[in-house]
Amino acid sequence: MPKIAIFQFSGTGNTYFVAKTICEALRKTDRCDLFALENHLDDADRLIERYDIIGLGYPIYGSSLPPIVFRFIETLSAHQKKAFTFCTQLLFSGDGAAYGARQLEKKGFVVLWQEHFRMPNNITDLRMLDRKKPYNFARIARAVDRRASRFANLILTGREHRKGSNFGSLLLGLLQRVPFEAMDPAVLTQAVKIDSERCVRCGICVDLCPVSNLRQTQDRIIPQKRCTLCYRCVNHCPTQAIRIAAKSYVKYPYHGPTSDLAIETIRTDDPDRIHS
């Protein structure tokens, strides 16, 4: 029975929800452990050695990877293990899962499975993307479960599935990724803006940030110029005092793909409780 580890990074819950669903499907026959990537930027190699198959899940930004995911992959030593990648996206990413796979392959991984999952929008400071109607959480869960179950079955049966690896997907990915990655990194890492009049210095954003980008002083919250664009702080600020992509502030925050998702859950490791 192979042992499987999934490392996931999730800003506001979409990728976590997908990773959790895939993991539960795999646990029906195999051992699968789910790890929050942000907790293992220094010790992932030690964990990976314990497993036979490695999964990597992430949200896609302009058909590229979040900075924290790049950092995670860069810290890895060479591993010749089977692997799979999956990404969450609003509409399309072209080669989103394949791009992450190519980064893993540079580290020696043999990536046999790749998948894309459409999920709700969490870029909530853009008025054009505002969603005023409530989400149908049951429909989201059903859609994720169907695709995750199919993906898990492909992994369990060993049948290759490399979503996003054809030429058309690569071209579509490049059309988004080239201009996105050509942007000045300083613009992205310094993207967080905080309205000092709205901010009540509760410290929630400081605690939630996966890269310690926010520092709290007696008078204000100060960005540290290393934002990973996850939108966690934007969507969980109780006074909607934070923005990233636009000049407008959040009107309808996104709290995840379920009605009761606790944001702390997405950054907590979830060891296999069935076969342990």
Q: What is the CATH number of the domain that holds 205?
A: 3.30.70.20
Examine the domain organization and report whether 167 and 202 are in the same domain. Answer: no
Examine the domain organization and report whether 41 and 112 are in the same domain. Answer: yes
Domain that holds residue 227: 185-243
Examine the domain organization and report whether 73 and 118 are in the same domain. Answer: yes
Examine the domain organization and report whether 166 and 189 are in the same domain. Answer: no
Contacts of 48 (CB under 8 A, 6+ apart): 5, 54, 76, 79, 81
Examine the domain organization and report whether 31 and 121 are in the same domain. Answer: yes
Instruction: Note the pLDDT of residue 246.
Output: 74
| Residue 253 in domain | no
Q: Which of 151, 245, 235 is nearest to 192 (CA)?
A: 245
Give how many domains the chain has, as a whole number. Answer: 2
| Residue 274 in domain | no
Instruction: Note the pLDDT of residue 200.
Output: 93
Examine the domain organization and report whether 132 and 65 are in the same domain. Answer: yes
Examine the domain organization and report whether 30 and 125 are in the same domain. Answer: yes
CATH number (domain holding residue 83): 3.40.50.360
| Residue 83 in domain | yes
| Residue 16 in domain | yes
Q: Tokens for 17, please give them.
A: 């929800």
Examine the domain organization and report whether 80 and 8 are in the same domain. Answer: yes
| Residue 43 in domain | yes
pTM of the complete model: 0.93
Examine the domain organization and report whether 138 and 229 are in the same domain. Answer: no
Examine the domain organization and report whether 211 and 74 are in the same domain. Answer: no
Examine the domain organization and report whether 134 and 151 are in the same domain. Answer: yes
**pLDDT tens track, the chain, 276 positions:** 889 999 999 999 999 999 999 999 999 888 999 999 999 999 999 999 999 999 999 999 889 999 999 999 999 999 999 999 999 998 778 899 999 999 999 999 999 999 999 999 988 888 766 676 788 999 999 999 999 999 999 999 999 999 999 999 999 999 989 998 888 777 777 888 899 899 999 999 999 999 999 999 988 999 998 899 999 999 999 999 998 877 778 888 999 999 999 999 999 998 765 444
Examine the domain organization and report whether 123 and 172 are in the same domain. Answer: yes
| Residue 72 in domain | yes
Three state DSSP letters for the chain: CCEEEEEECCCCCHHHHHHHHHHHHHCCCCEEEEEEHHHCCCCHHHHHCCCCEEEEEEECECCECCHHHHHHHHHCCCCCCEEEEEEEECCCCCCHHHHHHHHHHCCCCEEEEEEEEECCCCCCCCHHHCCCCCCCHHHHHHHHHHHHHHHHHHHHHCCCEECCCCHHHHHHHHHHHHHHHHCCHHHHHCCCEECCCCCCCCCHHHHHCCCCCEEECCCCEEECCCCCCCCHHHHHCCCCCEECCCCCCCCCCCCCCCCCCCHHHHHCCECCCCCC
Q: Which of 208, 229, 151, 176 is nearest to 36 (CA)?
A: 208
| Residue 160 in domain | yes
